[in-house]
């Protein structure tokens, strides 16, 4: 099996860091014409030459529209809705309106804003792939992370519904559950959890690992590999799935 994305045009949101960045680089290496965006210009500027970048806040529908007005006239084959923020780590009664809304806007509203722009193009060509970044928090419960959990369950439902709605037009829609991914964001999540519950960050790190059957953390490149597979012709009949690349997360909150 040798995956090629030659001739494909792909848009990946939040490609400045983490899994979005790893996916942009992987797809570029496989021959795709890659477009990506981020809030953070510095992350974008260090991507390889040949990747087209936009500074764009994907929670802003006008900014998303302006970006797609530039990309879509050349066509599009693959949309990776990757942007998401962790939201606050605190009991629900302490979550502010702003914290709730911000988490919703970046994690789920952005996926709606991007999806509704690419679907007419995909329908016209009778083909297309949409991949949404979910989370184990989108299939399990997670105390003290209520905005993130609500937003990611919305992503799961959006993914399943889009797969059913768009399947007759040969458009495939899948979700990815990344699990515990090594990187800056995981360090921030571990720190916030440790502070909220007044426990050692190393203990939080251990608890997250034992919540998975394989007792593991994974690398952003492993997520990128799965996105490339699902985007390629090898995934041509894979749709409506929420695929874990996570060593199988049994619980996000092991109680010791």
Which part of the chain contacts ligand NAD (CB under 6 A), choosing from 3-11, 80-88, 164-172, 195-203?
80-88
Residue 49 to residue 41: CA distance in whole angstroms: 15
108 sits near ligand NAD (criterion: CB under 6 A): no
**Which x/- pattern over 120-149 shows residues binding ligand NAD (rule: CB under 6 A)?**
-------------x-x--------------
CB of 188 to ligand NAD, least distance (A): 8
Nearer to ligand NAD, 169 or 225 (CB): 225
d(C-alpha 160, C-alpha 232), whole Å: 20
Among 3, 52, 57, 125, binds ligand NAD (CB under 6 A): 57
178 near ligand NAD, judged by CB under 6 A: yes
Q: Is 148 one of the annotated active-site residues of the chain?
A: yes
* Number of residues forming the site for ligand NAD (CB under 6 A): 28
Tokens for 102? 């911000």
Instruction: Determine, following the binding rule CB under 6 A, whether residue 181 of this chain makes contact with ligand NAD.
Output: yes
Does the protein bind ligand NAD through residue 20 (CB under 6 A)? yes
Cβ distance to ligand NAD smaller for residue 29 or 188: 188
Active-site residue set: 148
């Amino acid at each position: 099996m040798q995956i090629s994305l030659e001739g494909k045009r792909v848009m990946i949101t939040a490609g400045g860091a983490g899994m979005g960045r790893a996916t942009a680089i992987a797809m570029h290496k496989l021959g795709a014409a890659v477009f990506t965006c981020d809030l953070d210009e510095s992350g974008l500027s260090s991507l390889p030459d040949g990747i087209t970048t936009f500074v764009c806040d994907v929670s802003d529908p006008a900014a998303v529209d302006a970006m797609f007005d530039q990309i879509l006239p050349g066509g599009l084959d693959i949309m990776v809705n990757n942007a998401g923020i962790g939201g606050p780590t605190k009991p629900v009664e302490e979550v502010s309106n702003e914290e709730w809304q911000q988490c919703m806007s970046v994690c789920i509203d952005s996926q709606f804003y991007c999806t509704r722009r690419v679907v007419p193009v995909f329908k016209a060509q009778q083909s297309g792939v949409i991949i949404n970044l979910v989370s184990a928090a989108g299939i399990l419960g997670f105390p003290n992370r209520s905005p993130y959990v609500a937003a990611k369950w919305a992503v799961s439902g959006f993914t399943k519904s889009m797969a059913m709605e768009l399947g007759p037009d040969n458009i495939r829609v899948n979700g990815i559950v990344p699990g515990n991914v090594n990187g800056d964001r995981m360090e921030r999540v571990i720190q916030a959890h440790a502070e909220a519950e007044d426990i050692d960050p190393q203990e939080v790190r251990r608890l997250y690992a034992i919540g998975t059957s394989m007792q593991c953390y994974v690398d952003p490149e492993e997520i990128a590999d799965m996105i490339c597979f699902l985007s390629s012709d090898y995934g041509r009949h894979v749709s409506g799935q929420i695929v874990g690349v996570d060593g199988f997360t049994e619980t996000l909150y092991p109680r010791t």
